[in-house]
Chain A
Amino acid sequence: METKRIVFVGVGGQGNLLATRLLGEACLSAGIPAVVSEIHGMAQRGGIVESALVMGAMSPIVSKGEADILIGFEPSETLRALNKCNKNTVVITNIRPLPPFTVTIGQGVYPDIDKALDLIKNNVGSLIVLDGNELAEKAGNPLSLNMVMLGALVGSKNIALDEDTLKETIGKSTKQDFLESNLKAFDLGVAASRVG
């Protein structure tokens, strides 16, 4: 099958590891060979969290320039991960900033979001933007940003997985209390990527 290399970037606590795992489990149930890589350890201390899912190959990580899809949970992190992209990469990004603490103590400047998005757009195949946090809140659960982003990935029709397979996986892995909001967040993500 065609190899598809998907990179997820976010900040500790945003839930991109769970999103990557769910995508991997959906691949298993759909019979698509997939392997996932995660970085643990610093995730709970506000650092950058990167994960990847590769369909149809053995290597669990994605080299510079080799992402077919980049999913950014935070816009400056999406920009930071631009070196994973090439001119054909599809980039899906949340646009809600989460400035790092270094900005507060004057050790750096948070980039202008519009300029950042332009930079990304001009260098990759296509760019899908959404306010993932707003959609997650609309779904009734601010924790469901990862479901919004998964929805946007599936809705963008760039992978060989359909909505139902993903929703079934989400259903199996979500606590009952959060199921409704998770599925709603997923749907809102799907819709947003279609509009975008």
Chain B
Amino acid sequence: MPGLGQGLRVFVAEQIIPTLSTGKNMHKLLTDSPGKEIFLLGNEAIARGAVEAGIAIATCYPGTPSSEIPDTFFAMYKEGGFYFEYSTNEKVALEVAAGAAISGVRSICTMKHVGMNVAADSLMTLAYLGVSAGMVIVNADDPSLFSSQNEQDNRYYARLSGLPMLEPTTAQEMKDMTVAAFGLSEQLKLPVILRTTTRLNHLRGVVRFGTIQPIKSKGFFKKDPFHYVAIPAVSRNLHKILVEKNDQALELSENSEYNQIIGKGKWGIVTNGVSMNYVQDAIGDLGIGDKVTILRLGFSYPMPKRKIGKFLTGVEKALVVEELEPVMENDIRSTAQSKGIGIPIDGKGDGLFPRLYEFDPGLVRKTIGSYFKVPDTSPKAVDVTGIPDLPGRPPNLCAGCPHRAMYYAIKKVYGPDAIYPSDIGCYTLGLLPPLSMADIVICMGASVGSSCGIAKATDQKVVSFIGDSTFFHAGIPALINAVHNNHRFTLAILDNGTTAMTGHQPNPGVDTAPMGVDTKQISIESVVRGCGVEHVQVVNPLQVKKSTEAAQASKEFDGISVIISQELCPLFARVVKKAKKIRPFYVNQDKCKQHRDCIDLLACPAMYIADGKAMIDEKLCIGCTVCAQVCPENAILPLKIED
């Protein structure tokens, strides 16, 4: 019976979870073979850079587009002889890495852009304290919001915290700048931010290996409370030290090989990061190489003012090519003003670059062409006005996903008018009809906090949803708040035993033994009870009657109630548990009376309609039995298969 569906299942299962490298051959990124060229994902290149820099400690909270960096660390750390952890959240990850670097060992900490908001409280004062061994913070921005709730521009964090920032352009630089960032960090005794964007994290290119530096894995915390204890009297002095370090950083930026003036033409272009690639290609395509001077800012904070001045005096006008906010543009204008340079400096604006979304080579070519009045050479795209409207293909909860089952039970009891705050994870996909089970999503953990306010401000029923990893990450303080301040709503913790959306990383609630590591598993139920919640129910969402009864009991309770919906993500289960024989189901057409509850209420992707009949794709069905329990005619039955 192999078909595409079956294929999908196997394919997905094989590459789905972070996997320890324990094979006969050493992990490909651990070999000390300087000069070797290898085709790497940008995120793998960063991990290799960290290995070359001899890191002792790596921490993270996973998040697209950064997740493959920690997953690569996870694969390598036992063989590589360094320490690695998936931390509870980005703030903790940053603090772990900071403690290590202050104690004299090199550390790296990775997160997505919004994770930096979580870590920001620590970040701001860590900049005052500084570090004694190199510390690099990898920050992955997400222009165009491929997998994020916003597209904030984290170059502002360098400016806010006073920490130096490096921005690579190629896979090679992802590796090289990671190594360089450690040197820079030790020169300045400051953490250094390596800022990437989705297109860099997820590009692949050739990377030439350098040598691997030995790991200094044991440090020593030298007591110095009047430097490390950030009370006002100490911090007043530390702030002064940070400003002095910024002056030193500026000098290093002026002389950095990553800040280059390229060319001798009268047309100026300033650029950074992935945009540098688009600029180079555009100049080649437009044939204006001899007319252009590029100022490329790879060491982008502090901005090298002398170099900018030198660049500006050599050109007639300057176009700033940067995604998102006009960060460089504003700094360059301010430098020009302070040096009395009056040439036009442009970037964002009508007919120029947008502040929204990522750039692409065509946009950059066209804008450079029109700014410098060069004929556009771009090919004309096919006119697509005649194409029929195509059906959408949004990502969907998988066949057999336990989240769908819990959504069904809650919706059945609470109805469509209850308010369903949700959170960050696979279950956010419950937003889509026909489930329509997300009414507000802000950020990690906000489901619980916002529920307090909605329940307080309205007479509407509130049921909020949070995943296991997100609960540990940021849900606990809000739940304590809900209990302490007598809020009235139901919280459903959708515990699928893994951090599914970002690639099945562990979290504190996960049994990691099948993944080959021995972290301690923390019971969500104990935590919830420890937070003071008295109405706690633990259900298996695949048992529809029981989970519906649990929802009913919660609805009737006046106060804060928690339902812990416990069932492993089937994709994850297939990898970590011994595969059980899957028994797919089918629709007995003699019994089916076309209620279509299975399709209209569950929307499982294994179901489809053919010739007006509800059918199940046996290659996609994983035999979760939920549709069989929902069918009012008991028309959905297990297929008889040979064992």
The residues of A with any CB-CB pair to B shorter than 8 Å are 3, 11-15, 20-21, 24-25, 28, 33-42, 44-48, 57-66, 76-77, 79-80, 82-89, 96, 98-105, 107-111, 115, 119, 123-124, 133, 137, 142-143, 145
If A11-B393, A40-B64, A107-B391 touch, whether A60 touches B199 (CB-CB below 8 Å) is yes
Cβ contacts under 8 Å, A39 to chain B: 146, 202
If A45-B398, A105-B603 touch, whether A60 touches B203 (CB-CB below 8 Å) is yes
B566-582 at interface with A (beta carbon < 8 Å): 571
Interface Cβ pair total, 8 Å cutoff: 205
Distance in angstroms between the alpha carbons of A33 and B41 in the assembled complex: 15
Number of B positions contacting A (CB below 8 A)? 73
If A40-B202, A60-B205, A86-B379 touch, whether A79 touches B387 (CB-CB below 8 Å) is yes
B382 touches A65 (CB 8 A): yes
B384 touches A83 (CB 8 A): yes
A142 touches B4 (CB 8 A): yes
A79 touches B65 (CB 8 A): no
B605 touches A41 (CB 8 A): no
User: Nearest Cβ in chain A — how far from B146, in angstroms?
Assistant: 6
Closest A residue to B279 using CB positions: A58
A83 touches B381 (CB 8 A): yes
B378 touches A65 (CB 8 A): yes
Distance in angstroms between the alpha carbons of A100 and B68 in the assembled complex: 28
Closest A residue to B200 using CB positions: A60
Distance in angstroms between the alpha carbons of A59 and B170 in the assembled complex: 9
Q: Which of A21, A82, A115, A137 contacts B382 (CB 8 A)?
A: A82
A99 touches B391 (CB 8 A): yes
Distance in angstroms between the alpha carbons of A83 and B387 in the assembled complex: 10
If A40-B64, A41-B147 touch, whether A101 touches B390 (CB-CB below 8 Å) is no
Distance in angstroms between the alpha carbons of A136 and B50 in the assembled complex: 40
A105 touches B204 (CB 8 A): no
A142 touches B600 (CB 8 A): no
User: Nearest Cβ in chain B — how far from A19, in angstroms?
Assistant: 12
- Of the listed stretches B5-13, B52-60, B175-183, B187-195, name the one at the interface; the rest are far from the partner chain: B5-13
A107 touches B392 (CB 8 A): yes
A37 touches B390 (CB 8 A): no
Cβ contacts under 8 Å, B462 to chain A: none
A42 touches B381 (CB 8 A): no
Q: Which of A64, A101, A142, A143 contacts B396 (CB 8 A)?
A: A101
Output the residue of A44, A83, A100 with the most chain B CB within 10 A: A44
B391 touches A108 (CB 8 A): yes
A124 touches B382 (CB 8 A): yes
B395 touches A28 (CB 8 A): no
B361 touches A44 (CB 8 A): no
B393 touches A100 (CB 8 A): yes
If A28-B37, A40-B64, A60-B205 touch, whether A13 touches B280 (CB-CB below 8 Å) is no
A86 touches B382 (CB 8 A): yes
A102 touches B397 (CB 8 A): no
Cβ contacts under 8 Å, A80 to chain B: 390
Instruction: Flag whether B363 is at the interface (Cβ < 8 A).
Output: yes
- Of the listed stretches B100-108, B242-250, B426-434, name the one at the interface; the rest are far from the partner chain: B426-434
Cβ contacts under 8 Å, A98 to chain B: 4
A102 touches B391 (CB 8 A): yes
The residues of B with any CB-CB pair to A shorter than 8 Å are 2-4, 6-8, 10-12, 16, 37-39, 41, 64-65, 67-68, 146-147, 170-171, 199, 202-206, 274, 276-278, 280-281, 284, 360-363, 378-384, 386-398, 426, 429, 433-434, 501-502, 571, 599-600, 603, 605, 607-609
Output the residue of B3, B379, B384 with the most chain A CB within 10 A: B379
Output the residue of B8, B10, B280, B608 with the most chain A CB within 10 A: B8
Of all A-B residue pairs in the complex, the 10 with the closest CB atoms, nearest first, are A108-B391, A65-B381, A63-B362, A45-B395, A47-B395, A13-B8, A58-B277, A41-B147, A36-B204, A100-B393
Distance in angstroms between the alpha carbons of A24 and B38 in the assembled complex: 10
Q: Which of B2, B392, B395 contacts A12 (CB 8 A)?
A: B395
Closest B residue to A100 using CB positions: B393
Q: Which of A42, A58, A133 contacts B170 (CB 8 A)?
A: A58
B387 touches A103 (CB 8 A): no
User: Nearest Cβ in chain B — how far from A112, in angstroms?
Assistant: 8
A28 touches B39 (CB 8 A): yes
A143 touches B393 (CB 8 A): no
Beyond A64-B381, A98-B4, 17 additional pairs, beta carbon < 8 A: A11-B393, A35-B203, A36-B203, A36-B204, A40-B67, A46-B395, A57-B361, A64-B360, A66-B378, A79-B390, A86-B382, A100-B394, A104-B607, A109-B388, A119-B387, A123-B382, A143-B7
Distance in angstroms between the alpha carbons of A85 and B382 in the assembled complex: 6
A83 touches B382 (CB 8 A): yes
Cβ contacts under 8 Å, B378 to chain A: 63, 65-66
If A66-B379, A87-B380 touch, whether A102 touches B393 (CB-CB below 8 Å) is yes
Cβ contacts under 8 Å, A3 to chain B: 281
If A11-B393, A143-B7 touch, whether A62 touches B605 (CB-CB below 8 Å) is no
B204 touches A104 (CB 8 A): no
Cβ contacts under 8 Å, B361 to chain A: 57, 59, 61-63, 66
Distance in angstroms between the alpha carbons of A100 and B74 in the assembled complex: 34
Cβ contacts under 8 Å, A119 to chain B: 386-387
A44 touches B571 (CB 8 A): yes
Cβ contacts under 8 Å, A42 to chain B: 146-147, 395
If A37-B203, A40-B64, A105-B603 touch, whether A45 touches B396 (CB-CB below 8 Å) is yes
Output the residue of A38, A110, A111 with the most chain B CB within 10 A: A38
B389 touches A108 (CB 8 A): yes
Distance in angstroms between the alpha carbons of A112 and B184 in the assembled complex: 59
Distance in angstroms between the alpha carbons of A89 and B390 in the assembled complex: 21
**What are some 7 contacts across the A-B interface (CB < 8 A)?**
A21-B204, A47-B396, A57-B361, A63-B362, A66-B362, A109-B388, A143-B11
Cβ contacts under 8 Å, B206 to chain A: 28, 33-34
Cβ contacts under 8 Å, A44 to chain B: 12, 16, 398, 571
Output the residue of B171, B383, B393 with the most chain A CB within 10 A: B393
User: Nearest Cβ in chain B — how far from A176, in angstroms?
Assistant: 13
If A80-B390, A82-B384, A143-B11 touch, whether A37 touches B199 (CB-CB below 8 Å) is yes
Cβ contacts under 8 Å, A34 to chain B: 205-206
User: Nearest Cβ in chain A — how far from B198, in angstroms?
Assistant: 8
Distance in angstroms between the alpha carbons of A38 and B394 in the assembled complex: 17
Cβ contacts under 8 Å, A12 to chain B: 8, 12, 395
Cβ contacts under 8 Å, A62 to chain B: 360-361
User: Nearest Cβ in chain B — how far from A147, in angstroms?
Assistant: 12
Cβ contacts under 8 Å, B64 to chain A: 40-41
If A36-B205, A63-B360 touch, whether A102 touches B4 (CB-CB below 8 Å) is no
Distance in angstroms between the alpha carbons of A15 and B9 in the assembled complex: 12
If A13-B11, A45-B396, A46-B605 touch, whether A105 touches B433 (CB-CB below 8 Å) is yes
Cβ contacts under 8 Å, A100 to chain B: 391-394
